[in-house]
């Protein structure tokens, strides 16, 4: 199974500042045949289901604000919120879909400082 490790577990960022979340996979999730990273990021607010933010490591889903960006390749990935807004308070998860079982990182809680 591919183990997904996120860091930090939580972070507090001032409004308007940058938030950076890291995700590391235990093996590469880059398919060399199509040069795509099988990595997604989700946002989950309390009492709500997760929401897809980014797929293929860097492709924002429809309607996702451009302050959210994903980067990285192979085994190391980053979700960046360029200018934190109050509505961004949530838990963020990375997920690999390179192979079954599909696996998630443990989550990173983002709060306002």
Of 36 and 67, which CB lies nearer to other proteins in the complex structure? 36
Tell me which residues touch other proteins (CB under 8 A): 38, 40, 42, 44, 48-52, 55, 61, 93, 95, 97, 99-107
Smallest distance, other proteins to C-beta of residue 95, A:
6
Of 52 and 89, which CB lies nearer to other proteins in the complex structure? 52
Q: What is the DSSP string of 35-102?
A: TEE-EEEEEE-TTS--EEEEETTTEEPTT--TTEEEEEETTEEEEEESS--GGG-EEEEEEE-SSSSP
Smallest distance, other proteins to C-beta of residue 112, A:
21
Smallest distance, other proteins to C-beta of residue 16, A:
28
Q: How far apart are the first and last CA of the chain?
A: 36
């Amino acid at each position: 199974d591919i183990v997904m490790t996120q860091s930090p577990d939580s972070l507090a960022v001032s409004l308007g500042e940058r938030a950076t979340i890291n995700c590391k996979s235990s093996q590469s999730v880059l398919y060399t045949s199509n040069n795509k990273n099988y990595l997604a990021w989700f946002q989950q607010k309390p009492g709500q289901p997760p929401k897809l933010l980014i797929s293929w490591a860097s492709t924002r889903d429809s309607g996702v604000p451009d302050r959210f960006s994903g980067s990285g390749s192979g085994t190391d990935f980053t979700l960046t919120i360029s200018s934190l807004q109050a509505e961004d308070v949530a838990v963020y998860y990375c997920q690999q879909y390179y192979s079954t079982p599909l696996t998630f990182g443990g989550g990173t809680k983002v709060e306002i400082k």
